[in-house]
């Protein structure tokens, strides 16, 4: 039996990864991390979506220690979430949570080990992203090697969105007939607004811009997605 674990936040990217994983694996488990994030509604959104989409199981893991260590506008109410374009170029945005993906992928791998899953799937992306160093392909591959060595078992990290832009990510949801669900039911906004979000933060800007590009050229973007992803 092919089994996978999806690192699942209930946002656009991880939901699209879950949708694809459900089509590719016999059994899919979701793992969501409660790290005292600014908008805890995302945990409820993730629980609802995983159940509706048909995940085999959904584990919510308390990792509150991250909140104590990682200072970010996503972990501290007194640090405002910046609007798109308001932060200095070349600097890490205040929404970067140091060590988040290091911790999440490591813990997801331990869970995968216990349930004998062959893959851990994460929606990180290096093409359209906010400059987070722990979303880079180089980082994911390095951590994957270290984790597999430490567990003495091959656990494969899959990053299906790594080389897709946001328009192509929308196309991927549409390929599986779930574009409207992803648009309506996911929570990507840094200000905690479900669906199309606040329209002001960086996450909303990337999401809305990608959707606009896809809507303007569905055929072209879908063709690009299929070429990159090997979809038929």
pLDDT of res. 123:
97
pLDDT, tens digit only, all 232 positions of the chain: 999 999 999 999 999 999 999 999 999 999 999 988 877 899 999 999 999 999 999 999 998 887 876 666 666 666 676 666 555 556 677 777 788 999 999 999 999 999 999 999 999 999 866 678 999 999 999 999 999 999 999 999 999 999 999 999 999 999 999 999 999 999 999 889 999 999 998 899 999 999 999 999 999 999 999 999 999 8
CATH class of domain segment(s) 3-229: alpha beta
DSSP H/E element including 71: none
Q: DSSP letter string over 137-199?
A: HHHHHHHHHHHHHHHTS--EEE-TTTT--HHHHHHHHHHTT-HHHHHHH----TT---TT--S
Q: Is 30 annotated as a binding residue?
A: no
d(CA 206, CA 169): 11
pLDDT of res. 89:
56
pLDDT of res. 102:
95
Q: Is 12 annotated as a binding residue?
A: yes
**pTM of the complete model beyond 0.75:** yes
Q: Is 15 annotated as a binding residue?
A: yes
Q: Is 8 annotated as a binding residue?
A: yes
Q: Is 18 annotated as a binding residue?
A: yes
pLDDT of res. 92:
74
pLDDT of res. 86:
53
Q: Is 201 annotated as a binding residue?
A: yes
Domain map of the chain by residue range?
A: 3-229
d(CA 200, CA 51): 30
pLDDT of res. 75:
67
Q: Is 9 annotated as a binding residue?
A: yes
């Amino acid at each position: 039996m092919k089994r996978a674990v999806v690192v699942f936040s209930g946002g656009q990217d991880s939901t699209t990864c879950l949708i694809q994983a459900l089509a590719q694996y016999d059994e899919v488990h979701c793992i969501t991390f409660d790290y005292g994030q600014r908008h805890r509604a995302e945990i409820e959104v993730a629980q609802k979506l995983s159940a509706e989409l048909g995940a085999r199981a959904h584990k919510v893991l308390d990792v509150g220690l991250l909140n104590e260590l990682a200072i970010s506008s996503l972990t501290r109410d007194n640090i405002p979430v910046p609007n798109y374009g308001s932060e200095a170029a070349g600097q890490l945005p205040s929404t970067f949570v140091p060590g988040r993906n290091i911790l999440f992928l490591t813990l997801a791998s331990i869970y995968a080990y216990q349930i004998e899953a062959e893959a851990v799937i994460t929606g990180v992306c290096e093409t359209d992203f906010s400059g987070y160093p722990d979303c880079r392909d180089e980082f994911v591959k390095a951590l994957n090697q270290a984790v597999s060595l430490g567990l003495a078992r091959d656990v494969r990290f899959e990053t299906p969105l790594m080389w897709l832009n946001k328009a192509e990510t929308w196309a991927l949801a549409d390929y599986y007939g779930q574009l409207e669900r992803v648009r309506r039911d996911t929570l990507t906004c840094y200000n905690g607004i479900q669906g199309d979000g606040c329209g002001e933060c960086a996450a909303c800007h990337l999401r809305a811009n990608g959707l606009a590009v896809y809507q303007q050229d569905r055929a072209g973007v879908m063709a690009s997605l299929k070429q990159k992803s090997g979809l038929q």
